[in-house]
Chains A and B, each alone.
Chain A
Amino acid sequence: MDLRTRYLGLDLPHPFMPGASVMSQDVDKLRQLEDAGAAAVVLHSLFEEEILQENHSTLHHMQTHGEAYGEALSYFPEPEAMAFGPTHYLRHLEKVKAALSIPVLASLNCATDAGWRSFGQQAQEAGADGLELNFYFIPVELDASGTGIEKRLADIVADVKSHVSVPVAVKLSPFFSSMGEVARALDEAGADGLVLFNRFYQPDIDLEERSIVPALNLSSSAELPLRLAWTGLLAGRVDASLAITGGVHTVADAVKAVMVGANAVQMVSALLAQGPAHLEGIQREVAAWLEAHEYDSLTQLQGSMSYMRCPDPSAYTRANYMRAIHSWRE
């Protein structure tokens, strides 16, 4: 079965790939994923803020007590070169590139304009075949304007695009008033792909300690419909290619994702839970499904259930929501 797809301008043998996660910190694990047939890999995110914080903290604590007390003018050795900044990530990227033959996408999460630009350029120089800009941002301030955030997003994409030559995907959260407008703005800013959606690790409460704690739960198929809806709504209406991430666990999930128009399907939780071999199973069974349903190729299926092509587009709209409610009541 011909499962070929095109994502971010890259010709891939099929749409299935591991999304950004801890898995990619281990080169051996990535090799296993490649062996399991991954079409590409997205590395874990490089967090600019974390890097800056660690950088500052290390330098601060190395020097803060120095030159104060006659017996000890310093408390640490002073290596000439210490690799702060994204160096570790870039070296890892280089290693991954050297170890794998499939495309490697670097995922960035930056805090400053200069960070997006510079880390993007450096990732390209280190061999990334594409960038995934991971916009994970919580507008804590109550006066943060939605349009302001959206504009900044588009400006960053335009800026990065003007400084790199590799394709750039944008990983978004679902929390925009008008996802379509955002998608179009990013499209215009030059985004080569949109990745729907990143999962917010919403905090939980430890009842005994009475403290807020991070909740790191794996996704489930229940999270997929939101992705299906917006991918279906955007497919064929924006130039950027589309990827679904979050909630793809089963063959059925994978087929649905392609049906609504995903050019790429990223999986993390399923692979963490079931191991790299699961990826191979998905490809095989998607192929089997296509065969069983008499498709010639994956391309035939791709977008067939999008808003633009599905038999009843109103099913994507509010009416569908109302019906669903009623049907539940009955």
Chain B
Amino acid sequence: MGVAQEHEWITVDGNEAVASVAYRLNEVIAVYPITPASAMGELADDWSAHDRENIWGDVPDVIEMQSEGGAAGAVHGSLQAGALTTTFTASQGLLLMIPNMYKIAGELTPFVLHVAARTVATHALSIFCDHSDVMTCRETGFAILASGSVQEAQDFACIAQAATLAARIPFLHCFDGFRTSHEIQRIAALSDDEMHGMIDDALVRAHRGRALTPDQPVVRGTAQNPDVFFQAREASNPYYDACIDIVKDAMARFGTLTGRSYDLVEYVGDPEAERVIVMMGSGAEAAHETVDYLNGQGEKVGLLKLRLYRPFPVAALMAALPKTVRHLGVLDRTKEPGAVGEPLYLDVVAALAEAGQDVDWVAGKAPAVSGGRYGLSSKEFNPAMVKSVFGALADPASRRHFTVGINDDLTKLSLPVDASFRLPRSKVSTAMFYGLGADGTVGANKNSIKIITTETGAYGQGYFVYDSKKSGAATISHLRFGPTLIRSSYLIGEADFVACHQFGLLSRFDVLANAAEGATVLLNAAGSDVWDRLPHDMQATIIDKKMRLFVVDAAAIAEENGLGRRINTIMQTCFFGLTDIIPLDRAKAQIKLAIKKTYGRKSEDIVGRNFGAVDMAIDRMHEVAVPAKATSTVERPLPVPANASDFVQRVTGTMIAGKGDQLPVSVFAADGTWPVGTSKFEKRNIAAEIPVWDEAICIQCNKCAMVCPHAAIRVKVVNDNDVSKAPETFKSTKYRGHEFDRGTYVLQVAPEDCTGCTLCYEVCPARDKTNPRHKALEMEPHGDLVAAERDNFAFFLDMPELERADVPLNNKQVQFLEPLFEFSGACSGCGETPYIKLMTQLFGDRMVIANATGCSSIYGGNLPTTPYTTNKDGHGPAWANSLFEDNAEFGLGMRLAVDHQARMAERLLKSMGGDVGEVLAQSILTADQSNEAGLHEQRQRIVSLHEQLAKLKTDDARRLEALSDYLLRKSVWIVGGDGWAYDIGYGGVDHVLGMGRDVNILVLDTEVYSNTGGQQSKATPLGAAAKFAMAGRSRGKKDLGLEAMAHEQVYVARIAMGAKDAHTVRAFLEAESYPGPSLIIAYSPCIAHGYDLAHGLTQQKLAVDVGHWPLYRYDPRRIDTGEHPFQLDSAQPRKPLSAFTSQEARFRIVAHQQPDRYAELLAAAEAANKRRFEFYQYLAGYHSTVQQEPAELPEAAD
């Protein structure tokens, strides 16, 4: 880095570093969001929207596609038509691009595809890093270039572009997802001039010269036959032969231009090393540090960092490898089950074999080669593990194939790791911060890194660990600073400084687990008794490790300055006050500068408030005297209750405690199967306030239970004597209805599962007559209530449920059905989950769910705990997530299997009727299963059938035993968001709707990609801002319902629970009862709409009232009975659209950017809404004159 001072230094994450280069070196960018690559596309779109130019002075075109397959197609077309084109992706997205990748490579097209490497879903989905996605592309013909750090990711993005133009072979440039894509580092920026130096304009012209143009027409993409295909395929060989040297040359030129030298293969370590590790990606940086250390300890070890993986540089690898090596360990960050070894291992073995006798090995023979897997799904890979690998290489008895970083007690493949091993403390400062998402901790830390690196010229690194839950999400920040390049691509093991920005997190995390001896600890806490309130083990650690403890009541300062929960700038100032990294005054000035930069053009008032908070912070911070002995009686609660099952105790509990890394292989099911109903064991206690019921004024409307997104408020009707042994504070009242032979009504909150969203309070219509400010539900502090309400809730759960058959299925009483979806990790106030909960109340005991990837698959299936659960009989929804794009087909497949097995069971039953009893057989085969009573009776009959079958010894009896449960009608649900249904999965949705099978599709329409962070979908309304539609979407929302109705024989409903809950319940019942495909489009408020979701119900009502979301039901059954099939269930727009849009930031962002344009968009949207309503009115008046008796159309003849 000798020319460092000549560069502009920037502090960015890997995604930004790569996107900046890719953007400036391309002309067309077609993308689709996917974690962890989404940010690259978003940044490109942002720059394009702000007219930022590429190095040739043009503004690239950025387009969001409907899927990665679509993006790859658009890229292919753009490349063929002569534009420099790029895209960004990861994981499943990369897999969807593969078909086009073969084409693009086969046509020798210069192109760089940037991949933030991420695990491909197998037994489970993972958003984290490994190389399984990249490795699937080995055969595509792409060159593969791997970078291992933020600096390299930026630099290799440019080298790849230069090389692809020269080689004509497309490049896949990969860097590790999260570890590199989301890690912040101080790097030397690449200037436009440097990039000009790398890119040969003649090659750009050559690329354009090959473009498809009618002025020089050619044809590509022909179909070839056995006579020529093979030879034509071999014709590209010279390009691959030349590619390696082209990359080497590009790296050399890059070195000359920038002072940063790279090679195809880089060797680090002792020139006479006997043990060498070969690897790619960020893990090599941890290995690099460890090799340096071990050699300093007198060992002879080395590391080969492979940069270019395809074409595989055999000669370069052999040249770089010391001839002294006796044992090579090749580490792969992927798993190829059934292969001799993982891909890199096989390549290295092959390279050594091909080098054969020509190498003059010091030992007289080629080195032994072992292959190891590490780091799957971002599993930590740290110096202790590197040391363990070198240890294994020194051991002649060690396995040829191993894993490192886990405890494989099943197949014994894992290497033992000395977890206590750490590299000696260097001059690097380390700091860890525990915060909540909502408090701005991560943002402040990112800013601190920029301040420190800019002010001191030091190197800095920031890595952020996020929660698996969307509500009450905790964040852990890992920051390092030092005078030399920081290669530590792993979490901090010993922190000099630890801050906990939320006192409540002390009961969830052992925040000092990674604190160094003598560390400084900072807490945001109120009161003078902070020390006494610390958990006992924390007190002990502080004393034992001689730490200093500081406290600041940041929440109070934030409150005083009108900053709400944003304590970030206060804690940030205290961090600088307690560390001597830079003088406090300079730090404060820089913090203020950042505040000014963030808010200056948006709100002087907020700038002032933050300045006030920054100025107060240090004066309000104080040191707590640390006594000689730990005296606290506070203990961190058990991760799961003591009465949980053994599996939950051993596995789930360990994961909740944050110790999942320690779980051995043997505890896991080999096929990804997990028990249901575990969310009830994860008591998160994240609500500040919970609802308190006043039974005296409650009108028993059950709306609170209906709208609760987390099933944390429930109702039952029980017998009077059921409450006789209730806990003292348990409340009940006389039931106002007369439907049941029970007379006591109880309403109970789950105090530890409530998120405090206040939707129940908002919806409660019951007010005290004398003091209408008081409602039947009031929000009151959690801490005062939790102990008593915990007991009350446990008592409530034990009280008997009503028989399902006894419960009228209307919007009120349906809440007496047990929800089989509870306590999910969805956002507080989520607009999707109330629909799912309702669905499980209605059909949960006999439903199968296919769930598209997205929010609903995350809160539905993200570990450690999952929300789908069972009733007392053990029945409940069976749930699976396949992919994002295939969910409709996945669900259809379930239907096919269910139907087929039901038919098999029916056939068997018919054939053996006499054996099991003709009456029983006939009653099963002809059962009316259209209502709960019929279903209940059928269940009873199936039990009887089992009893009969048990007496029989025939094969058919055994076969029918296995199939008999299918004689109960199953309900198949296909659930997903608008990104799936409108965009990536639309083809499948359309096909499934057209196939006539009895499936129910529930689209949770948030009108935006919610899970990946607010990108526009084709459900995004006209005038709303979203990523890729920053200035407001200029096209209207697609009418998915109308498209579905075009199939004619499809039930369609558009619902909004907050506007009309009775309509919602009715639509679910009708959809499920419809014997063909059904589609329910459910309006779902989302945090990406930009308002307090406590008002989600009001906004739903407004959405309907202004005509944004008309309610309707289209039921083809009504055609046959001579009725109007389309029923419009909401009134004409009766309020201006602005009454709805002005409440949501997604619209206001547009208004604040371009008020005139926004006015036009709003007027256009209003007109479109009116037109659509008119059209719906027309449909509602439609009455078919073609009457045809409902008939089974003849199937095709065999």
Interface residues of A (CB under 8 A from B): 52, 54-85, 88, 91, 210
B601 and A81: CB pair below 8 A? yes
Bound complex: CA A59 to CA B767 (Å): 34
Are B1011 and A67 within 8 A (Cβ)?
no
Q: Is the CB of A82 within 8 A of B1153?
A: yes
Query: Given the interface contacts A58-B1090, A77-B1025, does A88 sit within 8 Å of B473 by beta carbon?
Result: no
The verdict on B437 contacting chain A, using a C-beta distance below 8 Å, is: yes
Instruction: Contact check, B36 vs A76: say whether CB atoms are below 8 A apart.
Output: no
- On whether the beta carbons of B1025 and A72 are closer than 8 Å, the reply is no
* Chain A CB within 8 A of B2 CB: no
B226 within 8 A of A: no
Q: Looking at the complex, which one of B442, B1087, B1152 makes contact with A75 (CB distance below 8 Å)?
A: B1087
From 1120 to 1159 in chain B, residues with beta carbon under 8 angstroms from any chain A beta carbon are: 1145-1146, 1148-1149, 1152-1153, 1155
Given known A-B contacts A68-B438, A76-B1014, A62 and B39 have beta carbons under 8 A apart: no
- Known pairs A55-B602, A59-B599, A66-B443; A77 contacts B1149 (CB<8 A): yes
Is there contact, CB below 8 Å, between A70 and B1014? Answer: no
Q: Give chain A residues whose Cβ lies under 8 Å from the Cβ of B360.
A: none
Q: A59-B599, A74-B1013, A85-B603 are in contact. Are A65 and B827 (CB under 8 A)?
A: yes
Query: What CA separation (Å) do A79 and B1014 show in the bound complex?
Result: 14
For residue B475, CB closer than 8 A to chain A, the reply is yes
A69's contact among B470, B605, B606, by CB below 8 Å, is which?
B470
Please state if A77 and B475 are interface contacts (CB–CB under 8 Å).
no
Chief secondary structure at chain B's binding surface: mixed
A204 to chain B: closest CB distance in Å? 16
Assembly CA distance A85 to B1155 (angstroms)? 13
Check B603 against A68 for contact (C-beta < 8 Å). no
The CA-CA distance from A330 to B476 in the complex, in Å, is 84
Residue numbers in B under 8 Å from A78 (CB-CB): 46, 1030
Complex Cα distance, B1190 from A43, in Å, reads 66
| B475 engages A67 (CB within 8 Å) | yes
**Complex interface: chain A residues within 8 A of B1146 (CB):** 76
11 sampled A-B residue pairs with Cβ under 8 A: A52-B603, A56-B605, A61-B1090, A68-B466, A74-B1014, A75-B1014, A76-B1027, A77-B42, A80-B50, A82-B601, A82-B1152
Closest A residue to B1009 by beta carbon equals A72
Q: Which B residues lie within 8 Å of A75 (CB)?
A: 1010, 1013-1014, 1087-1088, 1090
Max chain B C-beta neighbours (<10 A), residue from A56, A57, A68, A71:
A68
Chain B residues, Cβ within 8 Å of A63: 440, 443
Q: Say yes or no: A76-B1025 contact (C-beta < 8 A), given A56-B605, A57-B1145, A61-B1145.
A: yes
Q: A88: which B residues are within 8 A, CB to CB? A: 1155
Shortest 9 CB-CB distances between A and B: which pairs?
Answer: A68-B437, A72-B1013, A70-B466, A77-B1030, A67-B442, A82-B1152, A75-B1014, A61-B1090, A61-B1145
Bound form: Cα–Cα A82–B1032 in Å: 13
Tell me whether A62 and B1149 are in contact (CB under 8 A): yes
Cα of A64 to Cα of B178 in the assembled complex, Å: 22
Q: CA–CA, A52 to B599, complex, Å?
A: 13
What's the Cα separation between A54 and B1091 when bound, in Å? 11
| A62→B1145 contact, CB < 8 A | yes
Do A80 and B601 touch (CB < 8 A)?
Answer: yes
Which of A61, A77, A83 meets B1027, CB within 8 Å? A77
How far is the CB of B863 from the nearest CB of chain A, in Å?
Answer: 14
A69 touches B127 (CB 8 A): no
Q: How far is the CA of A293 from the CA of B1148 in the complex (A)?
A: 56
Instruction: Say yes or no: B473 contacts A68, CB within 8 Å.
Output: yes
B1012 touches A71 (CB 8 A): yes
Task: Report if A91-B603 is in contact (Cβ < 8 Å); known contacts: A58-B1090, A61-B1092, A70-B127.
Answer: no
User: B396 contacts the other chain (Cβ, under 8 Å)?
Assistant: no
Cβ contact within 8 Å between A58 and B1013: no
Flag if B601 contacts A68 (CB, 8 Å).
no
Contact of A71 among B50, B1011, B1152 (CB under 8 A): B1011
A65 engages B564 (CB within 8 Å): no
Contacts of B1010 in A (CB 8 A): 72, 75
Q: Of residues 1063 to 1115 in B, which have CB atoms within 8 Å of A's CB atoms?
A: 1087-1088, 1090-1092
- A82–B1149 Cα gap in the complex (Å)? 7
Within 442-481 of B, Cβ neighbours of A (below 8 Å) are at 442-443, 446, 464, 466-467, 470, 473, 475
Chain B nearest CB from A306 CB (Å) reads 44
CA distance A83 to B1145 in the complex (A): 13
**Most-contacted residue by chain B among A55, A58, A63 (CB, 10 A):** A58
Q: Are A71 and B35 in contact (CB under 8 A)?
A: yes
Chain B residue numbers with a CB within 8 Å of A64 are 438, 565, 1087
Contacts from B to A (Cβ < 8 Å): 35-36, 38-39, 42, 45-46, 49-50, 127, 178, 182, 436-438, 440-443, 446, 464, 466-467, 470, 473, 475, 564-565, 599, 601-606, 767, 772, 827, 858, 1010-1014, 1025-1031, 1087-1088, 1090-1092, 1145-1146, 1148-1149, 1152-1153, 1155
State the CA gap A77–B1088 with chains docked (Å): 10
Q: How many angstroms between the C-alpha atoms of A158 and B564 in the bound complex?
A: 34
Contact status A76-B50, CB under 8 Å? no
B residues less than 8 Å from A61 (CB atoms):
1087, 1090-1092, 1145
Partner of A83, one of B446, B772, B1155: B1155
Closest residue on chain A to residue B13 by CB atoms: A73
CB–CB B1014/A72 < 8 A: yes
- The answer to whether A55 touches B1090 (Cβ under 8 A) is no
Cα–Cα distance between A76 and B602 once the two chains are bound (Å):
15
CA distance A78 to B467 in the complex (A): 24
| Chain B proximity of A73: nearest CB distance (Å) | 7
- Residue from B473, B1145, B1148 having most chain A Cβ neighbours under 10 A: B1145
Cβ contacts under 8 Å, B1149 to chain A: 58, 62, 76-77, 79, 82
* Minimum Cβ distance to chain B for residue A328 (Å): 39
Q: How many Å lie between the Cα of A248 and that of B480 in the bound state?
A: 72
Give chain A residues whose Cβ lies under 8 Å from the Cβ of B442: 67-68, 73
Given that A61-B1092, A76-B1146, A80-B50 are contacting pairs, would A69 and B1152 also be in contact in the complex, using a CB cutoff of 8 Å?
Answer: no
Residues of B within 8 A of A77 (CB): 42, 45-46, 49, 1014, 1025-1030, 1149
CA distance A78 to B1030 in the complex (A): 7
A25 to chain B, nearest CB (A): 11
Q: A residues within 8 A CB of B1152?
A: 58, 79, 82-84
B608 nearest in chain A by CB position: A114
A58, B1145: Cβ atoms under 8 Å?
yes
Report B-chain residues with C-beta under 8 Å of the C-beta of A83: 1152-1153, 1155
Report the minimal beta-carbon distance from B806 to chain A, rounded to whole angstroms: 35
Contact indicator B466/A76 (Cβ below 8 Å): no
A residues near B604, Cβ cutoff 8 Å: 85
Query: Which residue in A56, A71, A76, A80 is a CB contact (below 8 Å) of B606?
Result: A56
Given A56-B605, A60-B564, A82-B1149, A69 contacting B473 (CB threshold 8 A)? yes
Using A70-B36, A72-B1012, A84-B1152 as known contacts, say yes or no to A79 and B603 having CB atoms under 8 A apart.
no
B465 (CB) vs chain A CBs: closest residue: A70
Cα distance, A302 to B436, chains bound together (Å): 67
Report chain A residues within 8 Å CB of B438.
Answer: 64-65, 68
Q: Are A73 and B39 in contact (CB under 8 A)?
A: yes
Q: In chain B, what residue has the closest Cβ to A70?
A: B466
| Chain B positions within 8 Å of A84 at CB level | 602-603, 1152
A67 close to B440 (CB less than 8 A): yes
CB distance from A297 to the nearest CB of B (A): 44
Chain B residue numbers with a CB within 8 Å of A68 are 436-438, 442, 466-467, 470, 473, 475
Q: Which residues of A lie under 8 Å from residue B1153 when comparing CB positions?
A: 79, 81-83
Tell which of A64, A69, A77 has the most Cβ of chain B within 10 Å: A77
Instruction: Please report the C-alpha to C-alpha distance between residue A88 and residue B1158 in the assembled complex, in whole angstroms.
Output: 12
Complex Cα gap A97–B437 (Å): 47
Residues of B within 8 A of A82 (CB): 601-602, 1149, 1152-1153
Which of B443, B1025, B1148 is the one whose CB lies under 8 Å from A54?
B1148
A79 to B1151, CA, bound (A): 12
Q: How far is the CA of A77 from the CA of B33 in the complex (A)?
A: 14
Chain B residues within an 8 Å CB radius of A81: 601, 1153
